[in-house]
Structure formats: C-alpha cells, structure tokens
Structure 1
Amino acid sequence: MSFVLRPATLADASAVTDLLNAVDVIEIGRPETDLHTVEADLKHPETDLERDSWLAFDGDRLVAYGLLWDNSGGERIDIDHYVLPDRQEAGQLVLEAMEARALGRARENGSGHSVVHLHLNIEPTLDTSLIRARGWSVVRRYHVLRRAVDRTRDQAPPLPAGVRLRSCATEADRLRVHELYQASFAEHFDFQPRAYEPWLHDVDAEGLDWSLVWIVGTEDLGDSGFLLARDDREAMGWIRSIGVLREARGRGLAGLLLEQAFAAFAARGRDTVGLGVDTSNATGAPALYARQGMSLHYAVDTWEAVLR
C-alpha cells in the first residue's frame, strides 16, 4: 500500500481534528479533541510546519499525523504521533521521518544526540511493537482524572485565616503566575524552563479566560501557588496546571485552589472537570486529587528514544 506524505498547514487543522477524534473514540470511548487545540499546536513557535509536521494520506483519507517541537533548545525534542489502527505502515513512515528530523533538530542545537518524548494512550492505536523495535521504551505514566461537579455541592471555599486568593486580572498577575509556574514545577519530571512569552503560547494565552486563573498566598509567605484552568474544551472543564511552592506545601493551598476551580466550573454549568497528573509525582498530588473525589478517566505513557 502506498501513502502520500506531506507537511501540514493551518488549513489542515479540521482534518487533523477529525483524525484525532477518530483515535479518541478508539482509545477512550469518545471524541475529546477540539479544533482550537489543534490550531494552537500547529502555531507552536518552536515548530516549522514545513519541516516539523507530517500528514499521511491513503488516497484522500488522512490516516496518520505527526508534529514535532523543541522547547529545550538542546537535546530534548517532543513529538505527537497519531495513526489509524489499520494503517500502521503509514504510522511507521511518519515515525521514521520524525526521528530523522528530531536528530537533525538536536544537532542544529549543538547536541550529538536527541532525547525524544512521545505521549501515547496505554492502549494506543499505534502498534507499540513497532516503536519498541526501534528502541523506544516507557519512562513515565500519567493519569487523566475527572470529577463530577454541580452547583449545589460545589461552592467557593471559605478562606482560612491568613490566606488570600485572587483571580489573575492584570499583566502583573500573569507575570506572577509564570514565575510561580516555573518555580513550583522546577523539580518535576521533564520540566523545561520557559521564558514568559513562549510560556504564554504554551498555555494558549490568546484563547485563555484569565478569570479562571487564580493565585493563592499567605500573610507570611506572600504569593505561594496558582491554578490555571480553561473552559474551552467541549468534553469538560479543564485544569491545566496547579502548583504550590515547596515552602508553602502542606498548608491546604492546593486543595483550596481545586475547590475554587470546581465551584467556578459548576457555576458556569459544567458537569465535569478534568486534569492530568504524573503518577510518580513526589508532591503528593495523586493522593490530593483522590481526596478531592477525582477518579481515573484514562492513562497515558511517556515513551522515550535516544537517537544518535
């Protein structure tokens, strides 16, 4: 079987969204990919679509898609890869092209090798024997959790004495959230430091409702944590990031932020809120989310290959 391989353009966003939703239905039981999310990915500032994206067609049918980006400026390269289960050969063609480009990109950055990461559902449409044979292995597992919310149960939490909470209303607040993000995530697996402007793209700031971003602080420590949520996913309200500085952990600030987000989404008429968590997170986040009533929706593995 022969396939046509070409780079993606922004005009392909709708077709890519359809493909990703077809994969979603197979992997998690329902479509959960939104067009604006694909468009944001295709606009990634560290992605040159002509060189860093791939579409594989079987006739007029899009059957595989790949995207590569470089947040590190060094050896670490990230890729996305999607393929329909009956078109594994197309998926392999895309993967081979991505590996070659990842190594080339790392060499452009001055590194002699590339460490590439790919996130896949634990039961993906991609035949994982193909990537294991190419030296890929699982290095981390993430859970996507979700929780039902309603207006009656989920109310804005009372603030303990000495604790303050505010929405992200000004540019100064946005800068502060960026600082808190960089500091609270610095010790997390695979963290890549990001300057303010690239970080704004990472969180799709243009499409972000900043009233769903909160900063929490204490009288003795000042601003100590944040929660960044978004309400532009059709499937559910989404908590993209939550972080608390090391010196402020153990005071219930993360739980307070979660309860604030649950209440805000419930007030907007949402019935479900989700987030992703590293199952090996050492800050106690998985246990916190369980206490807050969040349960497993699906699981994702981080696959890694070292290319030389």
Structure 2
Amino acid sequence: MNGRPDSLEPSDHLDPRLTWRPAGPAELDGWAALIARTAAVERPVWFERREDLAQLLESRNNPVAGNSILGFDGEGIPRAYSRITKNPTGDKAIGFGCVDPAWQGSGIGTGLLGWLEARTRQRFAEDGLAAPRLRLYMEEQHTHQAALFRGRGYRIVRYYNEMHRPLSHAFPEPVLDDGLELVCFEPGLHEAVRLAHNEAFRNHWGSEPRDEEAWGFVVNDPLARPDLSAVVIEKAGGRVAGYQLASHDAESAADRGFKEGYTDLLGVRREFRGRGIAQALLADAMRRFAAAGMDKASLDVDSENPTGALALYTKLGYVTVNRSMAWDKEL
C-alpha cells in the first residue's frame, strides 16, 4: 500500500471507535432503528424502513453482505451505516447511508464517504469497467450533507422537484383516442410494463434499464399500490403505451399530516407521445387517490426533463413544495 487515498481498502476509512461489519438478517431491527432515529431529527420526505431493508437482502446484483457496512458502539447499538448499489453494466454506483445524530460532527460521515468511494472503485473493477463514478442524493434542506459532499469534491449534477396537487380541486378531463384503452395494473402486465419503461426511459438522463430483479423491487415494494396504478394499452396490438405506478406511505401520512398518493413512475413510449396519455394517466391517478381517501397527489420530476414533464405537471395543478439534488464524483 503506497498511502494514496485511492489505494485504500474500504475498511481503512472507517472510524475505529465503532465496530464494523456488513448488514445482514440479524441486523435488520437495529439497522432500521438507526435510520428511524436519524430521520426523526433530519425529517426527510422518505426513508428506508425495515420492510425496505428486508427486501434488499434478496438482491443478487447487489448482495448486502458485500455492499454495506454497519458501525456498532460498545453496547452493540448501530450508529452509522452505508451501502452502494450498482447495475453490472451501469456507469455509476449510488450510495446510501446515515450517521446517528448523537454521533454526527465527529468525522464518521467523512469515513463512510471514503468507504463508499473505495467500494465503488472495487465494484467497477469487478464489472470490468473504467471511470468509476459515485452518485449521492440529498434533500435541499439537509445543508450539513451538502457541506460534507462539497468538501469531498462532489458536484451537483441535477435538481429534482417534489410536487403536490390538492385533490380538493376539480380534476382534469382528458380523453384518450379510440385506439387506446386505460386498464388496471395487473400482475399479467408486470413484464410488459417493465419493457415499456425501459423503452420510454432509454437515453433519459440518469436512467438505466431495469432487469427482472430491479423491476421486482418496484412491483413488490412494501408501499406499492397497484389499485392506485394504471396502464394505457393499444387496443389493436395490446402494446403498453404508457403507465402510472403509484404508492402510499401510511407512516409518512401520520407524520406529515396529510395522505398522499405518490406517482413513483410515469412513462409513455416515444411513438405514443402527443396523444394525451400522460394527462389521462395522471387524471385517473387523481380520481383513484381521492377515492382511496388521499388529500394530495404527489410526484417527483427532474427539473431538466426534456419531455416537458414539468410544464405538464404545472398545467395539471401540481406545485413544487421541496427540492432534492443529485451529487456526483468521478473517482
């Protein structure tokens, strides 16, 4: 070892005051409790819960045992964690993590970033790829994270708008043309919608194709609500033209004081664009959300989305209420 930062093993960056080991089934409760403690102070819009973490343990592309780290204090309580995910052919890894509020400001977060960067280099080498890159996401309100990221050489590469639309207002009345039909999102459509999603988001900034495993995490997400989702199909050939996949977080509703139906994914295949499909799907979502007792429809959008999505959402009554950003570092 020659002492250069990029020659260090991931574990060389970790704070010796804590005992470190990968996450696993035995750590689920403590892992989830750490994230919840941090969220109680930092108040993010969304955070991982035990059900989400349990789902991660099933990943084959990103096995938690090799791509996560938990730090325990002398009493065996988790105080910090990080993990990365990366598609085998992807051009970036995505990092996650947090530090217990009682332990923040002591350098542990800087060490976790070092671990993430070192593990990212390893993953790119394992996949036979050059130019490793790590991406981190944060909400605009978390200025302490921004200072940490900037100090480690990260730069903002994208902004995202969280948008809400009150369901007490009148709903739009878009009409699909005769060649299209709106149907419920049933299990028999899962694969067809996956393929439509990959096609709709081909060459979209930051998007990578979803394989069967990644799509399984979408449709089997603990918060997924297929009853609040819908698909537009072409009557003649049965092709999926567009889709709206929704979720609802009951715990977040109790914390934020309102119930929201959240549009996780909205897409329209290129050859079907300009036929009012996105408007029809969002109008249908509003009706489904309202019927389920929701107060607001919500979604997130890339502020530089080239398809005109931001203008469409604004036209339909969505208003920006929060911003987040993506930070990148070339390693």
| TM-score of the pair, normalised by structure 1 | 0.85
Note the 1:39-58 alignment, pairs <5 A: 39-58=54-73
SS across alignment from 1:194: coil
User: Which residue does the alignment assign to 2:87?
Assistant: 71
Match for residue 198 of structure 2 among 182, 196, 205? 182
CA deviation string 1:175-234 (max 9, x = no partner)? 211111011111211111123x22323304264443333211456885311111123553
Matching residue of 2:248: 231
* Aligned equivalent of 1:138, options 156, 159, 163: 156
* Alpha-carbon separation, structure 2, partners of 1:121 and 1:305: 18
Give the AA of the match of 2:22.
P
- Describe the SS at the equivalent of 1:301: strand
Say yes or no: does 1:278 pair with 2:302: yes
The 10-residue stretch of structure 1 (201-210 or 4-13) with the greater mean CA deviation from structure 2: 201-210
Name the residue aligned to 1:300: 324
Partner of 2:167: 149
| Shift in alpha-carbon separation, 1:296–1:283, aligned structure 2, 3 A | same
Asked whether 1:252 is paired with 2:267, we answer no
SS at match of 1:71: coil
Deviation at 1:101, TM superposition (A): 0.9
2:9 maps to what in 1? Answer: none
Displacement after TM superposition at 1:32 (Å): 5.7
One-letter identity of the residue aligned with 2:324: V
Q: What's the CA shift for 1:154?
A: 5.2
For 2:207, the equivalent position in structure 1 comes to 191
Q: How many residues align?
A: 303
Contact 1:74–1:109 (Cα < 8 Å) also in 2: no
Q: Conserved in 1, the CA contact under 8 Å of 2:88 and 2:127?
A: no
For structure 2, list consecutive stretches of 5 or more residues without a partner in the other structure: 1-14, 253-259
- The reply on whether 1:117 has 2:102 as its aligned counterpart is no
**For the residues of structure 2 that align with 1:43 and 1:14, how far apart are their CA atoms?**
16
Query: Would you say the 8 A contact 1:44–1:69 is kept in 2?
Result: no
Task: Give the letter for the 2:298 counterpart.
Answer: G
What is the match of residue 256 of structure 2? Answer: none
Q: Which residue of 1 is the match for residue 121 of structure 2?
A: 103
Which among 24, 33, 48 is matched to residue 9 of structure 1?
24
Q: Distance in 1 between matches of 2:264 and 2:110?
A: 31
For 2:69 and 2:327, the matched residues in 1 are separated by 19
Q: d(CA) in 1 for partners of 2:303 and 2:139?
A: 14
Per-residue CA deviation, residues 230-251 of structure 1 (Å, 9 max, x unaligned), is 2355323221100012222222
Q: Deviations over 1:155-180 (max 9, x none)?
A: 9x574441310112242x21211111
Tell me the residue number matched to 1:83. 99
Identify the residue that residue 166 of structure 1 maps to in structure 2: 183
SS of aligned partner of 2:251: coil
Query: How far apart are 1:52 and its partner, in Å?
Result: 0.8
CA contact (8 A) 1:145 1:296 kept: yes
Q: 1:118 to 1:38 in 2, by over 3 A?
A: same
Instruction: Give the conservation status (yes or no) of the 8 Å contact 1:136–1:304.
Output: yes
Render the CA deviation track for 1:66-114: whole Å, top value 9, x for unaligned.
Answer: 1111114354211112234551412122221111111001101112331
**Cα distance change, pair 204–56 in 1 and its aligned pair in 2 (3 A):** farther
CA contact (8 A) 2:156 2:328 kept: yes
RMSD: 2.8
Q: Distance in 1 between matches of 2:128 and 2:152?
A: 24
Residue 216 in 1 paired to residue 254 in 2? Answer: no
Matched AA of 1:133: G
Q: Structure 1's 213 and 190: CA in aligned 2 closer, same or farther, altered over 3 A?
A: same
Where do 5+ consecutive residues of structure 1 fail to align? none
Amino acid at match of 1:13: L
More displaced 10-residue stretch of structure 1: 206-215 or 134-143: 206-215
- Partner SS for 2:110: helix
User: Given the superposition, is the C-alpha separation of residues 30 and 75 from structure 1 closer, same or farther in structure 2, using an over 3 Å criterion?
Assistant: closer
* Alpha-carbon distance in 1 for matches of 2:143, 2:29: 20
> Contact between 2:196 and 2:269, CA under 8 Å: does it hold in 1?
yes
- Give the whole-Å Cα distance in 1 for the aligned partners of 2:56 and 2:220: 13
